Structures are given as structure tokens and as C-alpha cells.
């Protein structure tokens, strides 16, 4: 999904969480993150780390059923899952694109379903399963650049 | 006293007429086959617009089946959260219109509270008494709640990641078993050995919170290590189901014992799972607890449960925060 990114080789769930936390710390208002990865790839764990980095106190539970979960933190976190949606018109009717400019951070699972609604600026993160808890995570370089500043 | 109740928090558009908080005169859900036959049309899986299209026919049908008119209704009960704001708004607007037009009170109901009150619709012989423990399991929620009295809840535990019903759906999709995953796994698991594979029981001994994402990942890892033959699927799903059911039941029973509560109730769509029902009954019996499971039609999202919760809120009017208020807004992440 990303043409340019930094690869992280993570050996445990804790390391996946820690990477998320590091990213959460550097996120800014109106950042949109697209998460790509199969079932069990660690999207929930990474998002829980991002939430921690944003100082969200609550646990981050899956938004699959409810589609959007909102959390209060250093910036608001909008955790969105498009898994159950099939058409762009459904995404539009649910007002999901309105969350993009609300001064928070959007983390979107199954963002490929956005199609034409895809925002101009979106940070891509892809997660790949290597072993039981081993993952390869590719984070787009526009985001990782902030880590090294 | 007649209450018309409306529920649109997620995928279902539902309306019901409930008398005195107990007797369900009608319980209409837009996905019901009988409703489709009468009004036609295909209902997409998710769309706020779908609620707009069917809300009026659903309410009309609920009144007709109950054989009452708007003039007979004493109050309107409506779900105002948690759920999708766009979906909740449709039900709220319809409820406000009825309340305003008929000059009758509007009673706001929390969707989760509705699920708990579904247990009061079951009581033909006797009314459920407080306190009780409610295990609420659905596609979107997994919670253990101590219900101390009308409107008095203490959330003892909830899922930290996936809901139980969601774990069923995701594993079923991963294995290519179809949707919805719960009934498919339930059926296949009957032919399998639940002890065949020992999947983890995350957080089993820690408090009352749940974590089901890890069990799902364990299934994915297990399958990735071998070439799965169709003959192995029943053992696999039976073992997966066992991990979920055992965790749910043991934590619920433990909560009842720790809090010295004699009654355990089940709520939410996952209560249709036959293994969960029978295991909770058995374990409850062994511990001398009374286990109450509402009829399935009141376990999945429905408006009758909202009418029941609304009735008790109405008669204990101290619980009604904005009694007859027409300024009520939906609350997406409403808590108990």
C-alpha cells in the first residue's frame, strides 16, 4: 500500500504496542492513519499503543460493530473500522469523512474501502504476520520522519 | 399503561408496544421476514438512510399488531446511545415527533440498559428481583454488570478489545464459514471435540475484564501452521468456542459468588449460542445460582426491551433525566 516506508521487525505484542505508543506521541491534529493487515496482524494492539501515546485513559476496544469509537486524549482519537461497510455511499451516509477535519486523529481500519472518499493526506501503516507474535510493520516515511526529529 | 418504544442504535430499525413494562403487545424488527413480505425491499447491512426509509412503516406495524392507536399511548421510550449517531438520530426524531404531537412524555433509554431489562420480559410467573448479575454478550458488547436496583448498575468487567460476538464472526469469516459467524460455529462445534486444541484463555484469573482478540489470533496462528482439512474444522471451532464460552461463564459465576448474588441473567445476541446457554445453566446449578435466559427474540437488538426499561424509568420518574424533553441528543459512546 505504501510506496515508501520504514520497516520495523517486531518480536512480540509488547513491541507492537510500544511502536504504536511512539507514533501516538508524535501525532498531530487532523492526522489520518490507514491500517492495513489481515485478521490477527495486530491492528488492535497497534491502535491501543497509539491511544496510549495520545494519553487516552480508556481501553481501546474494537470498533468493528459500532464502526466509530471516540476517545478523549491529548487529541481526540477517532477509531474507525470500515470492515462491515460495502459501498462508498454507506460511508458517506454515516458521515465518516466529517471526522477527518475535526481536530483529532483518525485511525482507520479497512481504509481501502474509502475509494474516492480517500483524503489527500493519509499516513499508511501495513502489518504483516511473520510468526505467532512476530510482525513486520511498514510505516510511511512521512510519519516516521517525525520520530527522528 | 402503554409505551411505544423505538430502537435504531445500529443495524436494526425496531419498534414495539409494551403494556406495563412486561407484556409485549408487538415487537417489530425491520429485518423480520414477515415485515419484508409486507413492505418489500432489500435491507442493506448498514446504512443510516435505511432507518429513515423504514422507521415509519415499522412504527405503524407495531401499533397495528398491538391493536392500538397513537391516542392509546401513554409515553414514548427511545434509545439515545450507545450507537451510531446517524442511526440513533432517526429513532430519536421519530420518538420526539410522537411525544410532541401527542403531548406525552419522552423517556430516554440506554441501549445496554435495554438489554438488561429484556430479562423482565421473561417473567410470566414472577418478577426478577435485585440484585442480579447480567452477562451482556453481543456483536458489539461484552460486559458483566451488577444490577443493584432499577437504574443502579455497576460495570464489573468488559472487553478490552473484541466483543465475543465479533470474535465468532471474524473467526468464521477467516475460516470461510460464512456470516453471521455465531450460528455457523455453534452448529459445527456440536460435531467437534472442544478439548481437541487448547486455545488460551486470556485474563482468565485477572478480574472480570475480557480479551478475545488474542484467542482469535491464536486460531489464525494455529491454522497457518498446518494445511487445514475440512474434517478438522469441527474440532477447531469447538475448541475456539470452548475458550470463549469457558471464559464468559467462569468470570460471570465468579462475579456472582464474589458479590454474593444469587441470580445470573444473560442478555445480547450471543446468548443464542447453545454451548453458552447450557454451560451457564449447568455451572449456575452447581453453584446454587438461579440462571435466567430471556427468549431469543428479546436478546438480539429489539424495541420491546427498550419499552420495558422505559416503563421502569417512567414509573420511577427520578430516573428520567430529561422527562418529556425534546432537546435530547444522541450520545455515541454512552456508558451505563
Structure confidence by residue, pLDDT tens digits, A78-130: 999 998 887 888 788 778 898 999 999 999 999 999 999 999 999 999 999 99
B35 or B167, greater pLDDT: B167
In a domain, B224, yes or no: yes
- Inter-chain CB proximity A129 and B83 less than 8 Å: no
Pair B134, B282 in one domain: yes
- Could you say which of B86, B159, B216 has the minimum Cβ distance to residue A61? B159
What Cα–Cα distance (Å) separates residue B141 from each residue in A85, B80, B112? 19, 16, 9
* Half-sphere CA count of B294, side-chain side, radius 13 A: 32
Are A108 and A123 in contact by the 8 Å Cβ rule? The answer is no
> Helix/strand/coil (H, E, C) string of B292-333?
ECCCHHHCCCCCHHHHHHHHHHHHCHHHCCCCCCCCCCCCCC
What Cα–Cα distance (Å) separates residue B317 from each residue in B59, B310, B323, B335? 25, 10, 8, 20
- Helices H / strands E in chain A, number of each: 4, 7
Pair B172, B101 in one domain: no
Is a pLDDT exceeding 60 seen at residue B45? no
Asked if the bond preceding B13 is cis, omega within 30° of 0, the reply is no
Give the confidence band of A1 by pLDDT, cuts at 50, 70, 90. Answer: very low
Of A44, A130, A39, the C-alpha closest to B216 is A39
Rounded mean pLDDT, A63-76: 90
C-alpha grid cell, residue B313: 424509568
In a domain, B12, yes or no: yes
Pair B288, B305 in one domain: no
Q: Does A16 touch chain B (CB under 8 A)?
A: no
pLDDT of residue B35: 63
Residue B89's closest chain A neighbor by CA?
A94
pLDDT of residue A4: 80
- Scan residues 114-133 of A and list those with Cβ closer than 8 Å to B: 129, 132
User: Cα distance from B282 to chain A (closest Cα, Å)?
Assistant: 30
In a domain, B332, yes or no: no
Contacts of B137 in chain A (CB under 8 A): none
Neighbours of B44 (CB within 10 A): 15
- Inter-chain CB proximity A62 and B48 less than 8 Å: no
In a domain, B121, yes or no: no
Of B290, B294, B215, the C-alpha closest to B248 is B215
Pairing of strands A5-10, A135-140: antiparallel
List beta partners, residue B136. B143, B267
**3-state class percentages of chain A: helix first, strand second, coil last, to nearest 5:** 35, 25, 40
Residues for chain A: how many in total?
Answer: 149
Pair B105, B234 in one domain: no
Q: How many domains does chain B have?
A: 2
Neighbours of B182 (CB within 10 A): 24
Neighbours of A49 (CB within 10 A): 24
B96/B93 Cα distance (integer angstroms):
5
Mean pLDDT of chain B: 90
B248: CB partners within 8 A, 6+ apart: B135, B137, B142, B164, B210, B276, B280
In a domain, B330, yes or no: no
Mean pLDDT of chain A: 91
Range of the domain at B58: 2-116+299-321
Pair B267, B306 in one domain: no
pLDDT digits (tens, 9 = 90+) for B272-331: 999 999 999 999 999 999 999 988 889 989 999 999 999 999 998 766 655 456 888 888
Pair B55, B110 in one domain: yes
C-alpha grid cell, residue A111: 481504509
User: Cα distance from B176 to chain A (closest Cα, Å)?
Assistant: 13
Pair B94, B134 in one domain: no
CATH code of residue B152: 3.30.420.40
Contacts of A59 in chain B (CB under 8 A): 160-161
Are B160 and A61 in contact by the 8 Å Cβ rule? The answer is yes
A107/A123 Cα distance (integer angstroms):
9
- Inter-chain CB proximity B221 and A132 less than 8 Å: yes
Q: Tell me the torsion sign for CA atoms B194, B198, B200, B205.
A: positive
Q: Does A62 touch chain B (CB under 8 A)?
A: yes
Pair B111, B167 in one domain: no
**Helix H or strand E segment including B14:** strand B14-19
In a domain, B124, yes or no: no
pLDDT of residue A59: 86
B169/B182 Cα distance (integer angstroms):
6
Q: Does A14 touch chain B (CB under 8 A)?
A: no
In a domain, B335, yes or no: no
Is a pLDDT exceeding 50 seen at residue A2? no
B48 or B170, greater pLDDT: B170
B49 or B160, greater pLDDT: B160
User: Cα distance from A148 to chain B (closest Cα, Å)?
Assistant: 31
Give the confidence band of A67 by pLDDT, cuts at 50, 70, 90. Answer: confident
pLDDT of residue B83: 86
Rounded mean pLDDT, B141-149: 96
A3-12, A22-31, B159-168: segment of lowest average pLDDT: A3-12
pLDDT digits (tens, 9 = 90+) for B241-278: 999 999 999 999 999 999 999 999 999 989 999 999 99
In a domain, B179, yes or no: yes
- Could you say which of A93, A129, A132 has the minimum Cβ distance to residue B86? A93
Pair B57, B88 in one domain: yes
Pair B181, B288 in one domain: yes
Pair B74, B148 in one domain: no
B307/B27 Cα distance (integer angstroms):
10
pLDDT digits (tens, 9 = 90+) for B210-236: 999 989 999 999 998 888 888 999 999
Contacts of B333 in chain A (CB under 8 A): 69-70
Mutate to test the interface with A, among B11, B12, B46, B52 (most CBs of A within 10 A): B46
Predicted ipTM beyond 0.90: no
User: Cα distance from B330 to chain A (closest Cα, Å)?
Assistant: 14
Is a pLDDT exceeding 50 seen at residue B44? no
Pair B278, B304 in one domain: no
The widest CA-to-CA distance across chain B, in whole angstroms, is 65
What Cα–Cα distance (Å) separates residue B72 from each residue in B3, B4, B19, B184? 9, 10, 11, 43
Of B141, B106, B57, B40, the C-alpha closest to B306 is B106
Give the confidence band of B140 by pLDDT, cuts at 50, 70, 90. Answer: confident
Amino acid at each position: 500500500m505504501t510506496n515508501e516506508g520504514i520497516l520495523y521487525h517486531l518480536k512480540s505484542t509488547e513491541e507492537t504496542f510500544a511502536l504504536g505508543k511512539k507514533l501516538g506521541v508524535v501525532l498531530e491534529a487532523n492526522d489520518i492513519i490507514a491500517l492495513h493487515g489481515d485478521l490477527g496482524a495486530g491492528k488492535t494492539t497497534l491502535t491501543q499503543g497509539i491511544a496510549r501515546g495520545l494519553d487516552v485513559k480508556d481501553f481501546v476496544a474494537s470498533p468493528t460493530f459500532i464502526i466509530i469509537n471516540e476517545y478523549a486524549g491529548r487529541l481526540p482519537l477517532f477509531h474507525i473500522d470500515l470492515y462491515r461497510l460495502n459501498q462508498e455511499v454507506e460511508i458517506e451516509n454515516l458521515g465518516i469523512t466529517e471526522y477527518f477535519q475535526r481536530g483529532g486523529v483518525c485511525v482507520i481500519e479497512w481504509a481501502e474501502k474509502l475509494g474516492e472518499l480517500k483524503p489527500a493526506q493519509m499516513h499508511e501503516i501495513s502489518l504483516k504476520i511473520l510468526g505467532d507474535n512476530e510482525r513486520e510493520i511498514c510505516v510511511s516515511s512521512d510519519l516516521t520522519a517525525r520520530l527522528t526529529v | 399503561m402503554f409505551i411505544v418504544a423505538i430502537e435504531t442504535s445500529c443495524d436494526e430499525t425496531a419498534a414495539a408496544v409494551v403494556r406495563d413494562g412486561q407484556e409485549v403487545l408487538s415487537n417489530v424488527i425491520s429485518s423480520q421476514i414477515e415485515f419484508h413480505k409486507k413492505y418489500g425491499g432489500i435491507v442493506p447491512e448498514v446504512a443510516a438512510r435505511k432507518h429513515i426509509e423504514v422507521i415509519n412503516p415499522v412504527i405503524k406495524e407495531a401499533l397495528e399488531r398491538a391493536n392500538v392507536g397513537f391516542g392509546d399511548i401513554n409515553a414514548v421510550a427511545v434509545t439515545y446511545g450507545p450507537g451510531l449517531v446517524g442511526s440513533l438520530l432517526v429513532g430519536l426524531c421519530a420518538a420526539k415527533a410522537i411525544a410532541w404531537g401527542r403531548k406525552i412524555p419522552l423517556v430516554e433509554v440506554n441501549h445496554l440498559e435495554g438489554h438488561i431489562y429484556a430479562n423482565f420480559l421473561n417473567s410470566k410467573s414472577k418478577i426478577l428481583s435485585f440484585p442480579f448479575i447480567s452477562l451482556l454478550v453481543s456483536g458489539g458488547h461484552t460486559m458483566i454488570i451488577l444490577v443493584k436496583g432499577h437504574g443502579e448498575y455497576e460495570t464489573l468487567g468488559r472487553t478490552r478489545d473484541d466483543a465475543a460476538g465479533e470474535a465468532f464472526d471474524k473467526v468464521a469469516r477467516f475460516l470461510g464459514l460464512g456470516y453471521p459467524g455465531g450460528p455457523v460455529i455453534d452448529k459445527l462445534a456440536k460435531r467437534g471435540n472442544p478439548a481437541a486444541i487448547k486455545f488460551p484463555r486470556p485474563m482468565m484469573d485477572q478480574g472480570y475484564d475480557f480479551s478475545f482478540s488474542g484467542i482469535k489470533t491464536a486460531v489464525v496462528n494455529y491454522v497457518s501452521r498446518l494445511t487445514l482439512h475440512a474434517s478438522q474444522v469441527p474440532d477447531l471451532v469447538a475448541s475456539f468456542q470452548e475458550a470463549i464460552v469457558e471464559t464468559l461463564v467462569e468470570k460471570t459465576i465468579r462475579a456472582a459468588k464474589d458479590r454474593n448474588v444469587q441470580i445470573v441473567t444473560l442478555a445480547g445476541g450471543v446468548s443464542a449460542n447453545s454451548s453458552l446457554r447450557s454451560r451457564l445453566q449447568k455451572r449456575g446449578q452447581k453453584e446454587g445460582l438461579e440462571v435466567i435466559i430471556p427468549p431469543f427474540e428479546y436478546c438480539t437488538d429489539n424495541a420491546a426491551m427498550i419499552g420495558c426499561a422505559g416503563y421502569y424509568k417512567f414509573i420511577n420518574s427520578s430516573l428520567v433525566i430529561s422527562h418529556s424533553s425534546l432537546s435530547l441528543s444522541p450520545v455515541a459512546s454512552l456508558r451505563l
